[in-house]
Amino acid sequence: MASYEHPYSPRDLQLPGYVPLSLSQIDIVLPYLGSSVVVVAAIWFLSGRFPKLSKTDRLLMCWWAFSGLTHIILEGYFAFVPDFFKKKTPFYLDELWKEYGKGDSRYVSRDSAIVALEGFTAAIEGPACLLVVYAIASRKSYSYILQFAICLGQLYGCMVYFVTSYLDGDNFATSPFYYWAYYVGANGFWVVIATLIAIRSWKKIISVFESGNKKKTK
Amino acid sequence: MASYEHPYSPRDLQLPGYVPLSLSQIDIVLPYLGSSVVVVAAIWFLSGRFPKLSKTDRLLMCWWAFSGLTHIILEGYFAFVPDFFKKKTPFYLDELWKEYGKGDSRYVSRDSAIVALEGFTAAIEGPACLLVVYAIASRKSYSYILQFAICLGQLYGCMVYFVTSYLDGDNFATSPFYYWAYYVGANGFWVVIATLIAIRSWKKIISVFESGNKKKTK
């Protein structure tokens, strides 16, 4: 099998059959950002037709739709298409993951912890995120506990992701730029937002229990 | 460094400095079971002095005390004592983990996903389990959401544990006996109980939200 030189770290990583990236960084990042903006704008617009929803609820619906589609489409493709970096006529998502690999080469070397996390995120958390969009819009009683559960899953996933990299030498980025932009930046975004939503959901659940207790003791 | 032949799978696993087990299986398992029975009996007895606690609450307190101490003492020792299998004068917990390694050799080879999971379980989930014992006894409003959170962490940990083993070839047990008794049996226990408690907590939280909604619409 013909093999090209790859851009990943560590340099001695063996990737038989690797086909080099043909798209530029901007050709990969812009369509993702652009389609994310379209999704967020559509959910913001549609959710405005529900008069009872607060702005926070509508923002949360945008986040969950964006997060769910990222989990299902992007991470699902990675998890269930193991030979993405060998495709002779690569598709956009193959190129996206080859690009992301510059921030963390464990994606191209298919580290088993990464595949386990991404498979679970795509198959379970992704659909659950979309269910949250519906649950917020229709004011379901499971809305907060479901958001809390998904946030914990995202945070646990990030914990395993960062700790395994640290334990294995933290040498999987092509350069400091990719380390900070892709490995820390893209994932840090989920850590921060999942933490905020988890705290908000926890507080809401506690407050409902407390108001229930107060009613009982009256 | 003198190295002895090890009992683990795969047979070509390199373990420089490995010191053979000196305790028998029964010498390892009995003290763990015995001290667990003591903990469970003590919590059952003490919780009986709280007149408002149901039998289910008391059983849950026993489980969380047992689970928390297992996480902190056993799993904490594994996570933070990397050279346990090389100790020339091994202590009980060194022997326990060398024995468990027969069910999953990734514990002696210190697979990074296992160390990440166990470190998190010991440092975060273990103390949280003990907090649940207190929360149930003092009927705190965060009792259910905390139990739900820990159960999800335990289940996510088990998911990563089993899926990474499967992806890496599922060839880490010395024999089918150790595979089923240690790898599947001991962990399956946590999967089943965490699932049951997670479902119970979810239902309880939903029911509190629903009774709140009914009051509002009255």
DSSP string, chain A: ---PPP--SSTT---TT-----S-HHHHHHHHHHHHHHHHHHHHHHHTT-TT--HHHHHHHHHHHHHHHIIIIIIHHHHH-TTGGG-SS--HHHHHHHHHTTT-GGGTTT-HHHHHHHHHIIIIIHHHHHHHHHHHHTT-TTHHHHHHHHHHHHHHHHHHHHHHHHHTTS---SSHHHIIIIIIIIHHHHHHHHHHHHHHHHHHHHHHHHHHHHHHH-
Do the domain assignments include residue B106? yes
Which of B111, B114, B141 best tests the A interface by mutation, with the highest count of A CBs <10 A? Answer: B141
Collect all residues of chain B within an 8 Å Cβ-Cβ radius of residue A82. Answer: none
Shortest Cα distance, chain A CAs vs residue B157, angstroms: 8
A145 and B212: CB-CB below 8 Å?
Answer: no
Q: How far is CA B88 from CA B4, B84, B91, B208, in A?
A: 12, 9, 9, 56
B116 and A163: CB-CB below 8 Å?
Answer: yes
Domain region containing B33: 25-217
Do the domain assignments include residue A5? no
**Of the candidates A113, A116, A208, which has its C-beta nearest B208's C-beta?**
A208
A152 and B157: CB-CB below 8 Å?
Answer: no
pLDDT in tens, A146-167: 999 999 999 999 999 999 999 9
How high is the pLDDT of residue B217?
Answer: 54
Do the domain assignments include residue B164? yes
Which helix or strand (DSSP H or E) is residue B181 part of?
none
The pLDDT mean for chain A works out to: 95
How high is the pLDDT of residue B3?
Answer: 64
How high is the pLDDT of residue B1?
Answer: 52
Do the domain assignments include residue B9? no
Do the domain assignments include residue A3? no
- Cβ neighbors of B30 (< 8 A, separation 6 or more) are none
pLDDT in tens, A97-145: 999 999 999 999 999 999 999 999 999 999 999 999 999 999 999 999 9
When divided into structural domains, chain B yields a total of: 1
Which of B120, B152, B197 best tests the A interface by mutation, with the highest count of A CBs <10 A? Answer: B152
B156 and A159: CB-CB below 8 Å?
Answer: no
CA angle B149/B155/B158 to nearest 5° reads: 145
Shortest Cα distance, chain A CAs vs residue B125, angstroms: 12
Instruction: State yes or no: pLDDT of A212 exceeds 80.
Output: no
Quote the CA–CA distance of B92 and A130 in Å, as a whole number.
49
How high is the pLDDT of residue A122?
Answer: 98
The confidence band for A216, taking pLDDT boundaries of 50, 70 and 90, is low
Do the domain assignments include residue A152? yes
3-state SS track over B76-96: HHHHHCCCHHHCCCCCHHHHH
**Of the candidates B160, B209, B210, which has its C-beta nearest A160's C-beta?**
B160
First to last CA, chain B: 77
How high is the pLDDT of residue B2?
Answer: 56
Shortest Cα distance, chain A CAs vs residue B47, angstroms: 22
How high is the pLDDT of residue A217?
Answer: 54
Joined together, the tokens standing for residue A60 give 């949360």
List residues of chain A with CB under 8 Å from any CB of chain B. Answer: 112-113, 115-117, 119-120, 141-142, 144-145, 148-149, 152-153, 156-157, 159-160, 163-164, 167-168, 202, 205-206, 208-213, 215
- Cβ neighbors of A151 (< 8 A, separation 6 or more) are A194, A195, A197, A198, A201
Instruction: State yes or no: pLDDT of A218 exceeds 60.
Output: no
What percentage of chain A exceeds 90 in pLDDT? 93
Nearest to B141 by CA among A209, A211, A218, A212: A209
Do the domain assignments include residue B14? no
Shortest Cα distance, chain A CAs vs residue B116, angstroms: 6
B113 and A115: CB-CB below 8 Å?
Answer: no
Do the domain assignments include residue B8? no
pLDDT under 70: residue ranges of chain B? 1-3, 214-218
**Of the candidates A141, A159, A164, which has its C-beta nearest B206's C-beta?**
A141
Half-sphere exposure of B30 toward its Cβ, with a 13 Å CA cutoff? 5
Joined together, the tokens standing for residue A126 give 């992704």
